[in-house]
Amino acid sequence: MAAPSRPAVTSEIPGPRPLPLIGNALSVPSGRTIQSLMRLTRRYGPILRLHSPAGDRYVVSGLDMIDDICDDSRFTKLVGGGQLVLRSRFPSAGLFTADTGDPLWRSAHDILLPSFGTRSMRGYLPQMIDIAQQLMLKWERTNPGEPVDVTADTTRLTLDTIALCGFGYRFNSFYRETNHPFIDAMLGVLAESQTRSRIPPALVRLRRGAERRFTRNLRLMTDTVGAILDERRSSGDPGDDLLGRMLTGTDKQGRSLPDDNIVSQCITFLVAGHETTSGLLSFTISYLIKNPEVVARAQEEVDRVLGTDPEVMPTAEQLGRLTYVTQILDETLRLWPTAPAFTRQPLADDTVGGYPMARGTGIVALTPMLHRLPEVWGPDAEEFDPDHFAPERRDALPPNAFKPFGSGQRACIGRQFAMQEAVLVLGMLLQRFEMIDHAGYTLRIREALTLKPEGLTVTLRPRSGRTPGATAPPPPVRAAAPATAPQAGGDRHGTPLLVLFGSNLGTAEDLAGRLVRDGADRGYAARTAPLDSATRALPTTGAVVIVSASYNGTPPDNAAAFCAWLRDTGTPDGAAAGVRFTVFGCGNRDWASTYQAVPTLIDDRLAALGGTRVHPRGEGDARGDFDGQYAAWTAGLWDHLAAALDLRGQAGAAGTTGPRLRLDYENLRASAPVVRSYRSVPATVRANRELTSGEADRSVRHLEIELPAGTTYGTGDHLGVLPRNDAALVRRVLARFGLDPATYVTVTATGAAPTHLPTGEPYPVLAVLAGCVELQDPASRAGLAAVAAHLPAGPDRDALEGLTGTDDASRARYREQIALPRRSLLDVLEAYPASTLPFAEFLDVLPPLRPRYYSISSAPEASPNPSVTVGVLEAPARSGDGVHHGVCSTQLRDSEPGGTVFVLVREPSIPFRPPENPHRPMIMIGAGTGMAPFRGFCEERMALYERGVPVAESLLVLGCRDPLHDLLYAGELRAFTDAGVARLLPAYSRMPGHPHRYVQHVLAAEAETVWKVLEQDAVVYVCGNANTMAPAVREALVTLYRDRSEGTADEGDAWLAALRAEGRYLEDIWGESAVPG
């Protein structure tokens, strides 16, 4: 997108006069950086220039300039200052310190984003309350007149909250006399990072004592997180929190996060996830003790919404109704955003406020001054007044006027987490205490990576009338739908009702499911589907209800094609004629510039294309009373639908009788929820052969898969295979529960949460066990507790219950007896035959079956059927009982030609495919089955060569154990070499006398060859283990660069980072836990 047309400003950008050698360092002293920039902004205006030996930086606060740099099509995040120092000391960048072009940033963002949606926030609330109660208890036990250190206690609170919610770990900060060592180490690291960002590298090297402390503190932080990681892994239960998602989650291409990145992400969340929120709460209290009228108004709201009984814990719905409390927090963030600046850079030469800016120039958005603009906030912009965020005033704010959490796709991923925690804690404090300014506090700012008040203490007085046992007020009565005579279950008039959803985080999809159930109760033939499924296919019979979210103004993944069709200028007028529709949007007003962007687009464009709006568009704001807003929208929905469809006498009130849904199955597995959730399709095995010799100590299979019509693949794609549990495992389950193999079961979900099991009609028990659940995962503590609960009292029950506790001894027993030997729930049941655990409970505690992902090892130019290269997992069981067989690799090994497997094709999120220009060489580096995608790359180039197209010779750096036994596709490799498509540079780890054991040794020995190809604009591809091979390859390439450029280690890292940014260094790697089994 081009920069907006605006006359270039020819005057020089103002700023303080620089001094020789040090530039403007004295104008922005250490420890007062933000306050100094605010002072300079007041003097020089909305843009100023700062000089330093490292280059010029610009500081902006004018709204038009903020509008410019927040345009993601023109500007992106620039990591600098203390963040850059932090990143340089960790092997992998976290979400907040990574460059936007880093593939791991995108993978981590995709994996972690669902952890911060509305649904997840509700799940975190009990843990947030747990830690908040610890703060309340500490303050309740404070002696009268004894000051409390607000900043210290809120730091303890927020660290413990993110640790418990995110990682299931308790720092127990409120049970310590001194800080947890992690806090002191973190504070030391943050302070030193800020110092290092301001002084020359030569001076950094002279500060040897500071370097020793810095290294010691970093090691303590990484060791602490490493211990948390090890404990979770050894437990055998990955959990459903941030850490669990990082350990088990995959991005859209099936890639998981390597361990070093998980460690970096954990540290990032522990630092950023508590520093900013503790500062917010501390600043808020500093303002409340000076504004008693604000406190009185907030207490009135808290008492009305939460009640006066401090023993009744808040609900998520109640927190959504604390609107004035939220205004207080927003006003605090306006005046003192705890992350007070963010830095952007132009993607190309551009202008900011009319001033020319070169590509890559650092431009700092100084949000405390943006938030004080009188033209936006009024003449009292410098004053604390929560009514700056009264609903009507907030709605009138310009899109980029309030930016306390950053901007665009790099905005803080945890803002909803932080705000829920802050609203909860402030509400509980206001419910319980009067906070007294006993010392006449004057606000002083402590600056580190974030801002906090310095020296803030208050004394406390319990509020009168806090009565344990008093009931909280009921939620306000929502308007019911205008009455029609209730009819049991509604007349089954069968009018079609299609509920379409666009959802990445699950909230919109959950609402769609709720609407389908409500519609079925009113007699509609209701069904749900993703928005993309209705592209150019909206029905004109019945009605269409659409529920969608927005993500930084862009559609959810499953609504992108639908929205593109709506936006397409070629879409004919009348394309939606005859479609009766209504729209409900899910959003968050924190993203003011893009709030409800996609729902509004859908609503407006469907009407413009001839559709009939049968009910006004609704809006749900996750920062407010979302449930109340949804209830208000649905209050008139059903009557409006009935009127539009002429069903006033038929569409009755919701009833409770009759089936909600009827399904007719042809292929039972194809319709199972597990299969449908991954959109896997049945495919046919066409070939299956062994690739290693009989003397090899492992089996590697080559399989060719015929995809169904309409399913295609590209070179470099991944094939996900949804496996089936081995028949022997299934027979063991049947025997343990005394079930006949011919048994059918009907699963009825009695709770509100969806289930991964097929429900509503008889289903073969063999199919449930083989294709719906994981039978070999280590038994979870919940599973062990279920088995124990059905044992008679005695030593066996005591032994099992001794594995489920959270104390150190229980954890150690669980690790030794369950996690390390990987004993499954079935193993445990067989060891305790006296347990009467019902089959339903057994199924309920088992996790759903997961697909295993493989790099496709063919090219469509050479074969319409994709192939995969599968290492068969077969090893002695860690428990010592028999042999462990990988679920998926064993099934694929045993699959006969003509057999069916369920698969899905996924494109990589990075361009891990051959360059479009065949004259551009590749450097392909892989080991073992890591060569799979490179066979496809070479096949694509070979097909071009055979058609007479000149192709560049590429390097193929491959590792195996012995070329006589496990050099995969040896014959094809010779053909590629003979044709000049690729030059093979091998490494043989178990071949005596061979000079190179691993691929990194080849890169070092063939440095001249590799460098020559790199100078020809080659693209480097790496496929293999993220924990061993990938770091070794990076180190070898950096060393290669340094040897030829005589550069430093930092320059080598920067060179490799530049290759990444240019799309010339691409990794398709996996950690040990992600190796397909």
pLDDT of 488 strictly over 70: no
Residue at which a domain ends, from 625, 644, 663: 644
- Tallying the residues shown for the chain, one arrives at 1077
The residues that bridge with 720 in the sheet, in sequence order, are 853, 904
Which of 442, 76, 93, 135 is CA-nearest to residue 277?
135
Do residues 243 and 266 touch, judged by C-beta distance below 8 A? yes
pLDDT digits (tens, 9 = 90+) for 218-244: 999 999 888 888 888 877 778 788 898
| Cα–Cα distance list, 842 to 734, 770, 845 (Å) | 12, 14, 6
pLDDT of residue 249: 84
The structure tokens listed for 609 are 């294309």
pLDDT of residue 990: 87
pLDDT of 354 strictly over 70: yes
pLDDT digits (tens, 9 = 90+) for 389-398: 999 999 899 9
Report the pLDDT averaged over residues 247-253. 83
Q: How far is Cα 109 from Cα 95, in angstroms, rounded to an integer?
A: 7
Q: How far is Cα 348 from Cα 774, in angstroms, rounded to an integer?
A: 50
Among 651-660, 688-697, 811-820, top mean pLDDT goes to: 811-820
Among 370-384, 718-732, 744-758, 964-978, name the one with the lowest average pLDDT: 744-758
Report the pLDDT averaged over residues 429-456. 94
Report the pLDDT averaged over residues 345-369. 95
pLDDT of residue 471: 42
| Cα–Cα distance list, 286 to 32, 35, 218, 388, 422 (Å) | 19, 18, 32, 18, 15
Do residues 934 and 924 touch, judged by C-beta distance below 8 A? yes
CATH label of the domain that carries residue 970: 3.40.50.80
- Quick one: 57 and 173 in the same domain? no
Q: How far is Cα 982 from Cα 925, in angstroms, rounded to an integer?
A: 12
- Token match 């400003």: residue? 9
Residues in Cβ contact with 5 at an 8 Å cutoff, skipping those fewer than 6 apart:
none
Residues in Cβ contact with 523 at an 8 Å cutoff, skipping those fewer than 6 apart:
489, 490, 491, 492, 493, 494, 495, 647, 650, 651, 652
The percent helix, strand, coil of the chain (3-state, each to 5) is 45, 15, 40
Q: How far is Cα 140 from Cα 702, in angstroms, rounded to an integer?
A: 67
Do residues 903 and 683 touch, judged by C-beta distance below 8 A? yes
Please state, rounded to an integer, the average pLDDT across all residues of the chain: 88
Crossing angle for the helix pair 597-608 and 560-567, to the nearest 10 degrees: 50
pLDDT of residue 154: 96
The structure tokens listed for 192 are 């030193």
pLDDT of residue 464: 82
Report the pLDDT averaged over residues 117-137. 89
- Quick one: 158 and 265 in the same domain? yes
pLDDT of residue 470: 44
pLDDT digits (tens, 9 = 90+) for 833-873: 999 999 999 999 998 888 999 999 999 999 999 999 999 98
Q: How far is Cα 743 from Cα 759, in angstroms, rounded to an integer?
A: 15
Q: How far is Cα 184 from Cα 152, in angstroms, rounded to an integer?
A: 12
pLDDT of 246 strictly over 80: yes
The residues that bridge with 967 in the sheet, in sequence order, are none
pLDDT of residue 207: 87
pLDDT of residue 879: 66
Report the pLDDT averaged over residues 186-205. 81
CATH label of the domain that carries residue 361: 3.30.43.20
Asked, for residue 470, whether it belongs to a domain, the answer is no
Asked, for residue 302, whether it belongs to a domain, the answer is yes
CATH label of the domain that carries residue 524: 3.40.50.360
The residues that bridge with 502 in the sheet, in sequence order, are 548
- Quick one: 529 and 420 in the same domain? no
- Quick one: 239 and 140 in the same domain? yes
Do residues 700 and 793 touch, judged by C-beta distance below 8 A? no
In the chain, the number of structural domains is 4
- Quick one: 934 and 951 in the same domain? yes
Asked, for residue 189, whether it belongs to a domain, the answer is yes
Catalytic residue list: 276, 405, 412
Residues in Cβ contact with 966 at an 8 Å cutoff, skipping those fewer than 6 apart:
691, 692, 693, 696, 698, 700, 928, 960
Asked, for residue 916, whether it belongs to a domain, the answer is no
pLDDT of residue 89: 82
Asked, for residue 323, whether it belongs to a domain, the answer is yes
**Host H or E run for residue 530:** strand 525-530
Residue 311 burial class via C-beta count within 10 angstroms: exposed 0-12, middle 13-18, buried 19 and up: exposed
- Quick one: 111 and 205 in the same domain? yes
- Quick one: 329 and 364 in the same domain? no
- Quick one: 186 and 319 in the same domain? yes
Domain containing residue 985: 922-1074
Report the pLDDT averaged over residues 306-330. 93
Which of 667, 658, 639, 670 is CA-nearest to residue 525?
658
Among 27-31, 504-508, 750-754, 791-795, top mean pLDDT goes to: 791-795
Residue 697 burial class via C-beta count within 10 angstroms: exposed 0-12, middle 13-18, buried 19 and up: exposed
pLDDT band at 468 (very low <50, low <70, confident <90, very high): very low
pLDDT of residue 497: 96
Q: How far is Cα 514 from Cα 496, in angstroms, rounded to an integer?
A: 16
Pairing of strands 718-722, 681-690: unpaired
Residue at which a domain ends, from 610, 644, 678: 644
Q: How far is Cα 917 from Cα 911, in angstroms, rounded to an integer?
A: 14
Dihedral angle computed from the Cα positions of residues 927, 929, 932 and 934, in that order, rounded to the nearest 10 degrees: 10
Asked, for residue 664, whether it belongs to a domain, the answer is no
pLDDT band at 477 (very low <50, low <70, confident <90, very high): very low
pLDDT of residue 466: 66
Report the pLDDT averaged over residues 268-281. 88
Which of 13, 627, 66 is CA-nearest to residue 375?
66
Q: How far is Cα 347 from Cα 621, in angstroms, rounded to an integer?
A: 32
Q: What sign does the CA torsion over 375, 378, 379, 384 have?
A: negative
pLDDT of residue 664: 59
Report the pLDDT averaged over residues 609-634. 90
pLDDT of 473 strictly over 80: no
- Quick one: 142 and 217 in the same domain? yes
pLDDT of residue 111: 86
Among 49-53, 485-489, 603-607, name the one with the lowest average pLDDT: 485-489
Residue 603 is which amino acid?
D
Among 571-580, 711-720, 842-851, name the one with the lowest average pLDDT: 842-851
pLDDT digits (tens, 9 = 90+) for 933-981: 999 999 999 999 999 999 999 999 999 998 888 899 999 999 999 999 9
Pairing of strands 525-530, 363-366: unpaired
Q: How far is Cα 706 from Cα 1022, in angstroms, rounded to an integer?
A: 27
Which residue blocks in 772-838 are alpha helix, DSSP H?
781-789, 795-801, 808-814, 825-831
Asked, for residue 750, whether it belongs to a domain, the answer is no
Q: How far is Cα 938 from Cα 958, in angstroms, rounded to an integer?
A: 13
Alpha carbon distance, N-terminus to C-terminus of the chain: 45
Crossing angle for the helix pair 208-235 and 181-196, to the nearest 10 degrees: 130
pLDDT of residue 1071: 60
Neighbours of 545 (CB within 10 A): 26
Q: How far is Cα 868 from Cα 872, in angstroms, rounded to an integer?
A: 12
pLDDT of residue 836: 95
At 145 the three-state DSSP class reads coil
Among 330-344, 504-518, 976-990, name the one with the lowest average pLDDT: 504-518
Residue 612 is which amino acid?
T
- Quick one: 579 and 513 in the same domain? yes
- Quick one: 358 and 326 in the same domain? no
Do residues 8 and 356 touch, judged by C-beta distance below 8 A? yes
pLDDT of residue 995: 83
Q: E strands of 284-352, at which residues?
A: 341-346, 350-352
| Between 92 and 383, residue with greater pLDDT | 383
CATH label of the domain that carries residue 208: 1.10.630.10
Pairing of strands 451-453, 445-447: antiparallel
pLDDT > 90 fraction of the chain, expressed in percent and rounded = 58
Residue at which a domain ends, from 623, 644, 665: 644
pLDDT of residue 665: 41
Residue 227 is which amino acid?
A
Q: What sign does the CA torsion over 477, 481, 485, 487 have?
A: negative
- Quick one: 117 and 15 in the same domain? no
pLDDT of 431 strictly over 80: yes
Report the pLDDT averaged over residues 636-641. 94
What are the φ and ψ backbone dihedral angles of 710, each rounded to 5 degrees? 90, -10
Q: How far is Cα 927 from Cα 957, in angstroms, rounded to an integer?
A: 8
Do residues 721 and 902 touch, judged by C-beta distance below 8 A? yes
pLDDT of 823 strictly over 60: yes
| Between 979 and 994, residue with greater pLDDT | 979
Among 11-25, 112-126, 910-924, name the one with the lowest average pLDDT: 112-126
Angle at 443 between CA 442 and CA 446, to 5 degrees: 135
Do residues 540 and 643 touch, judged by C-beta distance below 8 A? no
| Between 910 and 581, residue with greater pLDDT | 581
At 1059 the three-state DSSP class reads helix
pLDDT of residue 469: 42
Dihedral angle computed from the Cα positions of residues 343, 344, 350 and 351, in that order, rounded to the nearest 10 degrees: -40
| Between 650 and 304, residue with greater pLDDT | 304
Q: How far is Cα 901 from Cα 724, in angstroms, rounded to an integer?
A: 9
Asked, for residue 614, whether it belongs to a domain, the answer is yes
Spell 223-262 as b/e; 16+ CB within 10 A means b.
ebbeebbebbbbbbbbbebbbbbbbbbbbebbbbbbbbbb
